[in-house]
Chains A and B, each alone.
Chain A
């Protein structure tokens, strides 16, 4: 089973700044099966990125995913107040192994 570790636990930035959220896997992620989700307070999780770097439908291009192997990054450019949320990375795929990272909380100063 792949274990995902996310850092930092909490990120506090000002509007307009860039947020870089890290996700590290305990093993190499196969077939690019790495996704990111956004969960705003009181809401259901929403898929942002799948396949490491492909934005889901209707996700603004301020959100981008990158990485390979065991190290992945979600970047949020030009941070907006509406981006306040917890962000989870997720390993998925076809090998009966699905895990979520513990999440990174993004706050606005």
Chain B
């Protein structure tokens, strides 16, 4: 079935780095744009980063620009989020989600219809 499974979360100290992974299965990963969304404890959803279906274009929220890097390996069906210079305010559950697929007929957007279960990142000294 269609599935996204995140991994790589953990407890780190401020200033440290972490790489999150999101393994996709059950759909044509190479045709989908992918996103990372996070949720701080007790807070709402915050869009973090996005990458185009082919991995050529990446976009970031201002809060993570210059510190986070999103990438996509269409051969391994895996999405990544490399995070450096982590701050306590980066503490959150990080979800990967798919939004929008592209085919020969163009790109189509139907909202974030598949989400992973989330991986928790805690930044604390």
- Which residue numbers of A lie inside 8 Å of B, CB to CB? 31, 33, 35, 37, 39, 44-47, 49-51, 54, 56-57, 86, 88, 90, 92-94, 96, 98-103
A23 to chain B, nearest CB (A): 13
Give the contacts of B91-125 with A (CB-CB under 8 A): 95, 99-100, 107, 109-113, 115-118
Does B95 contact A103, Cβ atoms closer than 8 Å? no
Chain A CB within 8 A of B27 CB: no
Size category of the B interface is 20 to 34
In contact, B35 and A98 (Cβ under 8 angstroms) = yes
List 8 extra interface pairs beyond A56-B111, A94-B109, CB under 8 A: A46-B115, A50-B109, A88-B44, A88-B45, A90-B45, A94-B107, A98-B47, A100-B44
Enumerate chain B residues within 8 angstroms of A86, measured Cβ to Cβ: 44
**A50 touching B113, Cβ below 8 Å:** yes
Q: How far is the CA of A35 from the CA of B7 in the complex (A)?
A: 27
Q: Contact: A100 with B47, CB < 8 Å? A: yes
Are B112 and A45 within 8 A (Cβ)?
Answer: yes
